[in-house]
Amino acid sequence: MKHTRTLAALLALAIGLSGCGTLKRTLPAGTPLADLTARLGKPTATYPAPDGGQVLEYRGQPMGQFQHMATIGPDGRLLAYEQVLTSENFARVQVNSWTRDDILRHFGRPAETSRERVDGREVWSYRYKEDGIWNSMMNVTFNGRGIVLRMQNSPDPLLDDRFKGM
């Protein structure tokens, strides 16, 4: 029993400290790109922004419930750095307007990709904490032209006990 309590305490400490890493990664707007990459490391992907800047992906998927994106202006300076997999950010997606490129630029690469069984439409799924509470997947379905057809939230089958053993 004592061993279990010690393990639980160490796990709680590790989880608590892992949150501190995110705070240390916060950088002020205006930080030059070279300073940003020196501090955060090489991004896992880079996407061109419509204004001539770029968006850098710092991947937390496929198993994490986070993904950090750094928006760099055309002048090579940081405009914003944020954890993008949130209910508020997913609510900004414009169905029938946004494309695969828009989704990549805003959320980065998904945790999973699949196809619908009936019509073969492509689905990108992002693992996240819905409203900061529920272990969820945001499923983005694209039509044949790569336009967002629908956004659908579901429980994360890997983290939801109702799916264990299925």
Q: What is the pLDDT of residue 165?
A: 60
Asked if 153 and 139 touch (Cβ cutoff 8 Å), the reply is yes
The model's pLDDT over 72-83, given as tens digits with 9 standing for 90+, comes to 999 999 999 999
Domain ranges of the chain: 2-163
Asked if 64 and 76 touch (Cβ cutoff 8 Å), the reply is no
Per-residue pLDDT of the chain (166 residues; tens, 9 = 90+): 544 444 444 334 333 334 434 434 578 999 999 999 999 999 999 999 999 999 999 999 999 999 999 999 999 999 999 999 999 999 999 999 999 999 999 999 999 999 999 998 999 999 999 998 999 999 999 999 999 999 999 999 888 766 666 5
Q: What is the pLDDT of residue 125?
A: 97
For 2-163, CATH number out of 3.30.1450.10, 1.20.140.10, 3.60.130.10, 3.30.1280.10 equals 3.30.1450.10
* DSSP secondary structure string for all residues of 25-69: T---TT-BHHHHHHHH-S-SEEEE-TTS-EEEEE--TTTSS--EE
